[in-house]
Structure 1
């Protein structure tokens, strides 16, 4: 779909714009004191990892995609963009439910994007779910460890970090689980017309 291409490109432009503004005006970024240096390194990599993979490998060897997977790219870019917007608007510190919602929604986006980009289309629902849980839960653990090492251990958040981390891991895992189920349904629906064409073909 054309709109996914434009949406993915717009998301990248906004992401890079916010990262650049955070470099120029760190006090206004919303990530000052929240591992800003690590975010300024990880976030552009997160937003560009699929295009870099496609340029280096996927465009010539990918068995899943004949053209660049824009929908997957959009889903893999949105988590970094939305997190920056949330911090810039101070939503994580002023809206009680925002952090929990983001761990659920953004991990769902990221897991869905990874599945669409890299998971074989013929996986069963169970295998798709296991892959989603494997990636989503592992990524959530890496994120929480990164947060602890870079800023939580030296911040007032340390007092509530254990409870918060357990909640974040649970919500991230549930988001990944939902993404796995949805991606299986979407890819299954997309494959139905192709299967029908093969069945109905006189050849």
Structure 2
């Protein structure tokens, strides 16, 4: 029993350190983008909007916890570090992908990111805010609702911020449809995974 408790505590510490490390790295990348914009990989790709939106996205759960969750949350007794890590990783991975120019040099990278990052984001939102006793159907519907809505907002933001004035406009319609489809599929997979994890934990 003591060994199991120690293992669980060590795992929780690892997740907490990973979440904090992801945030620190993300903020470091954003800071370097301010200092050396030509090297950031996001120049000409709505850099200003990313510098505003990404910190908000990574900090939304800690801010919610500070303002409300720590005293009145019925879902969590302590800060939900796994959810926080999942909600931080999409912003960090996107920055890294742009920093290493993967979106423009690897043909499948953009599609993979829309599927994977929306899956991570949806899983984080479900773990942070969705009740644990939802059925598989309701979990799936919540995941699809959140994921599809977030994907639409992202695509609208991309269009307003830089696509409409870039060479990508000619292929934007097809690309947007593909991005929305992959983001929604990623959210669907995340919903099923989170449900299975919650069901297993309940037993």
TM-score under structure 2 length normalisation: 0.94
Kindly report structure 1 stretches of 4+ aligned residues shifted beyond 6 Å: none
1:50-103 CA-to-partner distances (Å, cap 9, x unmatched) read 000000000000000000000000000000000000000000000000000000
Mapped pair 1:85 → 2:90:
no
Runs of 5+ consecutive residues of structure 2 not aligned to the other structure? 1-11
Of 26, 35, 43 in structure 1, the residue corresponding to residue 37 of structure 2 is: 26
Q: Secondary structure at the match of 1:96?
A: coil
1:36 maps to 47
Of 10, 13, 35 in structure 2, the residue corresponding to residue 2 of structure 1 is: 13
Measure the CA separation in 1 of the matches of 2:79 and 2:200. Answer: 20
Runs of 5+ consecutive residues of structure 1 not aligned to the other structure? 193-203
1:20-66 CA-to-partner distances (Å, cap 9, x unmatched) read 00000000000000000000000000010100000000000000000
1:87-166 to 2 correspondences below 5 Å: 87-166=98-177
RMSD: 0.4
Q: Secondary structure at the match of 2:131?
A: coil
1:58 maps to 69
Mapped pair 1:72 → 2:76:
no
1:92-138 CA-to-partner distances (Å, cap 9, x unmatched) read 00000000000000000000000000000000000000000000000
Measure the CA separation in 2 of the matches of 1:22 and 1:53. Answer: 27
TM-score under structure 1 length normalisation: 0.94
Q: Secondary structure at the match of 1:145?
A: helix
